[in-house]
Structures are given as structure tokens and as C-alpha cells.
Amino acid sequence: MATYLTEVLRYQQSSEKISNVSVVLSDYEVNRNKFSGINSYFYNYVRKPQHFLSAINEINRVIKKDRPDIIHVHSTFAGVFTRLLLFFKRDRPLVVYCSHGWAFTMDIPDWKKKIYGYIERFLAIKTDLIINISKSELKHSLIYKLPLNRSLVIYNGIKNEVSSVSEPNVKLDSSKINILFIGRFDKQKGLDILIDFFSKNYLSDIRLYLIGDNVLNKSTLKLPSNIISIGWIDNELIDSYYKIFDAVIVPSRWEGFGLVAIEAMRNKKALIVSDRGALPEIVKNGVNGYIFNIDNYASLKNILLNLNREELVLMGQNGYSLFLKRFTSEHMNSEIIKQYELLIQKKGKKKS
């Protein structure tokens, strides 16, 4: 989310089509550090019901102060707070909403998915535009009857420049094919699938490296000898690590988009991804990487056993070409502003 907001805010602040842009964020230290250089408002927030009302009040205060034409809301909780606040207001700003991954696409019980679906459908009544970050997300939203006529897809994008390349603090065995996993060590990102696979399948020519860590707990992972954990890496250094690996693997169980995938493409790296969420939209099988069946270890094993370093280099080049065509910050931001303009035009016609 921080990466996305940084790209959007930086672009909109420099756009001649936008006169003023502000951002309202929860009062976490990481937010204050990341967004201190822009017109930012921070409010104290803890994800517990007793804190929801104070968050809504603070959002309301900022709206009254800045009087925006458009409010672009990001993520589930912000979407609930802001749209509930504006639900019964007649003369309200236009509302654009992006969930950045629908809650009902998670691996949760069906009854919870239905509740999230009902909430989103209710709040969509007062939403002027719903941005989905992939075709997969749009497809799922229609299952829960969100309005197609107010929904569209705008893929996430990142800037076409890598951070300054420094020497990574890791030594790779050049006689092996070295694969990189980057992400949280949680159920969504599917690291446990890789650990189980490599524990049961010792592939002598493959080494898997992990960048990331546990988020909710600090339990130590039991890793087989062919998996090496690097730990957390500063985001400013991450491109240096992408550069030295042969391929990047993304085994997610659900994925609204897949930022790691396009970061890998920007660094000209081939991808090995699961067949879930938006990942098959990013990877063209056999062109810029491979897609494996997450429920079938044989599918992944067949890919890994047949990896060829020369082919991976070619796939990395193909991936970079696809990145330039579809996943740059310029593509994403220009489309967002285009949609803002269309909404303003429609509102003007209704008033006249």
C-alpha cells in the first residue's frame, strides 16, 4: 500500500490537472516517515471497534477543512469509514474506491465472504467508481453483485527505475539455479507450500533464497538445506538482490495483484508463479515465466527440473518488455486521472 500511495501521490502532486492533493493516514510511525513531505493528516487508530468512531470523526474533520472534489479511498477499513461518513450526505465529494484486494477473495469461510460481499455491495451505493487492481478482482466482485457499470480495472504500476545497485550481502553458487522468494512469511504468500515442497523434493541443481520474515509471530522456520533465509532487506536495496538471481517465485494462495511479480519484471527476471488471483494475468506461461498448479506438487517439480538459465534470461527480457507496456507508474496514474476527469464531467452534466 505504501508503494502504491507513494507512486500516486508523487504523480498527482506534479500533475497540472490537479490543483491540490492531501492524504489522510493512520498515525503509525512508518506512515509519518514515508509521507512527511506531502500534505498529510494523521489520526490515532487501532484496528479495534472502540477506535472506529474517532477515525471516522478525524476523516470528517479533514474533509470539511479541505473540501475535496474527489475522495480516493484505499483499502477495506478506510473504505468503510469514509463511505459510511458520506452515505447520507447529499452534496458530497465524488468517491473513488479501491480495496487493493477484496476481503472475500481470502481463504476464509464462505459465511465471512458473504458478509464482506454484503457490506461492499451496500457501500457501493454511494461509490462513484470502483477500481479493481486486476481482472481477477473484478470477476470476484461481480460474483458478489458489485455494480459492473461503475467498476473497471487499472493495474498497479511502479516507476521504471531501479534503486542504486549495491553489493548484496549474500553469496550464490553459480553452479546452481538460484531462485528468490520475497514476501511476508504468512499463509497468503504461500511460503509454507515451498518449504513443504523442498522438504519432500531435494533438487540438487536448485537453491531457494528467502527475503522476508514472520509478521504475526516470531516462530523459527524449519528450513531444509536447500532453502536459505536472508531476512528482511531495506526496500532501497531490494533491486540489488533481484539482479543476482535467476528467477523469482511467487507461490501465493490469493493475490489481488502481485507487486513482487512486476518488480521482478522491471529487473528482467523470469517468474514462477501459482495459478491464483492476478498472477496468471501478469505471467504469460512460457513467455516471461511459468505458472504452476498450487494444488499439484508435480506441476512445480516439472517446472523446476527443466529450468534452463539461458531460457530464464530470455524470459526476463520478455518480462521487461511486458512491464513497459502494462505495468509502469505512468500507465497507472494517467488512467486514474483520466477517470477523475470523466467523473467530474458526468457530475457537471447532471448539475446542468
Could you report the per-residue pLDDT of 140-192, keeping only the tens digit for each?
Answer: 999 999 999 999 999 999 999 887 667 888 899 999 999 999 998 989 999 99
What is the separation, in whole angstroms, between the first and last Cα of the chain? 38
- Confidence (pLDDT) at 211: 95
Please give the Cα distance from 300 to 198 (Å, whole number). 11
Q: Identify the pLDDT of residue 131.
A: 97
pLDDT of residue 80: 93
- Give the integer Cα–Cα distance in Å for 198 and 227: 8
The one-letter code for the residue type at 257 is F
Contact indicator for 274, 292 with CB cutoff of 8 Å: yes
Looking at this protein, which amino acid is placed at residue 107? D
Distance from the Cα of residue 334 to its chain's centroid: 18
pLDDT at 36: 62
Angle between helix 76-86 and 110-123 (nearest 10): 40
> Which CATH number fits the domain 2-159+329-351, given the four candidates 3.50.50.60, 1.10.3720.10, 3.10.250.10, 3.40.50.2000?
3.40.50.2000
- Element (DSSP H or E) covering residue 115: helix 110-123
Instruction: Tell me the pTM.
Output: 0.89
Whole-angstrom Cα distance, residue 6 to residue 224? 37
- Give the separation between CA 308 and CA 312, rounded to whole angstroms: 6
Low-confidence ranges of the chain (pLDDT < 50): none
Q: C-alpha angle with apex 314: 309 to 317, nearest 5 degrees?
A: 130
The confidence score (pLDDT) of residue 215 equals: 59
Residues in Cβ contact with 141 at an 8 Å cutoff, skipping those fewer than 6 apart: 102, 120, 130, 132, 151
How do strand 70-74 and strand 94-98 relate by DSSP bridges? parallel
State residue 88's pLDDT score.
87
Strand, coil or helix: 321: helix
Domain locations along the chain: 2-159+329-351, 177-326
Q: Give the pLDDT confidence score for residue 351 in this predicted structure.
A: 63
Fold agreement (2-159+329-351, 177-326):
yes
Query: What is the per-residue pLDDT for 32?
Result: 65
Q: Residue 5 and residue 193: Cα distance in Å, rounded?
A: 31
CA 325 from chain centre, in angstroms, equals 18
The CATH T-level fold of domain 177-326 is: Rossmann fold (3.40.50)
pLDDT tens sequence across 210-243: 999 875 555 567 899 899 999 888 888 899 999 9
